[in-house]
């Protein structure tokens, strides 16, 4: 039992380190286009078990309209947000997304994005 717990903790911390590195990379990309307003989001995938996995390495963007304006997220291929920047007016959001697509060759994520609570 103790060995199993130690293994799960080791797996968790290894996944967390990898995930944090991917979050930092996504945050750097978003910061480049938002004037350093990006925040870190999720570093681990929630797979409802004790198998911890880091967020994916691939990058997609997603915009979400809220009452305060637009949120821009960089997420992985499962829609897990790695970094977010908020609240932009539509014109500014469009400028940021255009540059991210051109300069970084990042495509839009088509599904529902998973944001930190």
- Residue 33 is classified by DSSP as H
Nearest Cα to 106, choosing from 39, 56, 70, 61? 61
Q: Strand 39-40's sheet: what is its strand order?
A: 39-40, 81-88, 69-75, 60-66, 107-108
Left (φ > 0), alpha (ψ -120 to 50) or beta: where does 5 sit? alpha
Confidence of residue 1 (pLDDT cuts 50, 70, 90): low
> Residue 14 domain-assigned?
yes
pLDDT tens digit sequence for 6-53: 767 778 899 999 999 999 999 999 999 999 999 999 999 876 776 789
> Residue 34 domain-assigned?
yes
Count of structural domains, the chain: 1
> Residue 8 domain-assigned?
yes
Q: What pTM, to 2 d.p., does this model score?
A: 0.89
Helix (H, G, I), strand (E, B) or coil at 35: coil
> Residue 114 domain-assigned?
no
pLDDT of 2 reads 65
> Residue 98 domain-assigned?
yes
% residues pLDDT > 70 (the chain)? 91
Domain that holds residue 23: 2-108
**Residues 38-73, buried b or exposed e (16+ Cβ, 10 A)?**
bebbbbbbeeeeeebbbbbeebbbbbeeeeeebbbb
Helix (H, G, I), strand (E, B) or coil at 86: strand
């Amino acid at each position: 039992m103790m060995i199993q717990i130690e293994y799960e903790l080791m797996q968790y911390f290894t996944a967390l380190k990898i995930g944090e590195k991917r979050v930092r990379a996504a945050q750097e990309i978003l910061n480049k286009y938002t004037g350093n307003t990006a925040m870190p989001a999720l570093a681990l995938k929630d797979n409802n078990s004790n198998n911890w996995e880091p967020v994916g390495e691939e990058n997609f963007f997603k915009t979400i309209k809220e009452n305060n304006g637009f949120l821009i997220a960089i997420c992985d291929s499962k829609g897990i947000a790695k970094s977010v920047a908020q609240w932009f007016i539509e014109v500014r959001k469009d400028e940021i997304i255009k540059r991210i697509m051109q300069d970084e060759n990042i495509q839009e994520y088509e599904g529902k994005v998973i944001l930190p609570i």
